Amino acid sequence: MFMFTHDCSACDRRQLIFPSMIEGVTRTEGGTEVAFTCWCGAEQTALRGSSSTSGDRKLVAA
In this prediction, residue 57 has a pLDDT band, given cuts at 50, 70 and 90, of low
Phi then psi for 21, rounded to 5 degrees?
Answer: -90, -15
Which neighbouring-strand residues pair with 20? none
* pLDDT tens digit sequence for 28-56: 999 999 999 999 999 999 998 865 444 55
Which pLDDT score is estimated for 50? Answer: 66
In this prediction, residue 13 has a pLDDT band, given cuts at 50, 70 and 90, of very high
Domain count, the chain: 1
Region 5-10: mean pLDDT is: 94
